Amino acid sequence: MSWGSDTVAERPGGRHPAASLRWERRAPGLRVLDPEELYRHTDQLYRAAWALCGSSHDAEDLVQETFLNVLKRPRLLSDGSEIGYLLRAMRNTYASRYRSSVHRRRDRPLTDDDAAAGHDGGFETRELMEAIASAPALYRDAVVAVDLVGLSYREAARALRTRESTITTRLHRGRQHVARALNGGLLDAA
């Protein structure tokens, strides 16, 4: 495959550094993900990662690994949603790295560091994150996108590549799962 006078085989790994920029010129709806702006999404990704992992320590590792994977090469965004792209990348990173070691998450004793500062008399943050982490993946992803990251239903549907009505259903079922888990009725419902 040729890119003008440069060929893809000229660089180890098979990609020419300007290849993604040339693609952007050919496909006007695409734009390059700006690495300098990713720090703005760190808090949202951390909350989502904590819900996925059930542990603040594992969440930090997941966010760092996600950023590492995203920054390896230029990324093109078609829908213009950086947070949506980053959530998909984090979910994929989680699936490839953490799903195989899911038992580690459950076996590690939780510490006081796993709970966020501040207590309002309700459930502790740790309990809430564990409840979200125990939800089936499709429901958990919807709860994380809407309730933790703060995406609208439309943005969540775009980020998770599904319809808005599907997000509504998954969010409802995910919230029910979390409520049952927090009230101790998870085992009765299963």
What is the pLDDT, as a whole number, of residue 139?
93
Q: How confident is the model at residue 36 (pLDDT cuts 50, 70, 90)?
A: confident
CA dist 66 → 44, 69, 100, 101, 112 (Å) = 13, 5, 17, 17, 25
Q: Output the pLDDT for position 185.
A: 54
pLDDT at 117: 47
Angle between helices 164-182 and 153-160 (to 10 degrees): 100
pLDDT in tens, 140-179: 999 998 988 888 899 889 888 899 999 999 999 999 999 9
Tell me the pLDDT of the chain averaged across its residues: 74
Domain segments of the chain as ranges:
31-189
Beta strands per DSSP E along 37-145:
76-77
State the pLDDT at residue 107.
47
- The two tokens of residue 111 are 């510490």
Q: What tens digit of pLDDT does each residue of 43-69 get?
A: 988 998 888 888 888 889 999 998 888
Residue range 71-100: average pLDDT?
Answer: 79
The answer regarding whether domain 31-189 maps to CATH 1.20.140.160 reads: yes
User: Which position has the higher pLDDT, 152 or 34?
Assistant: 152
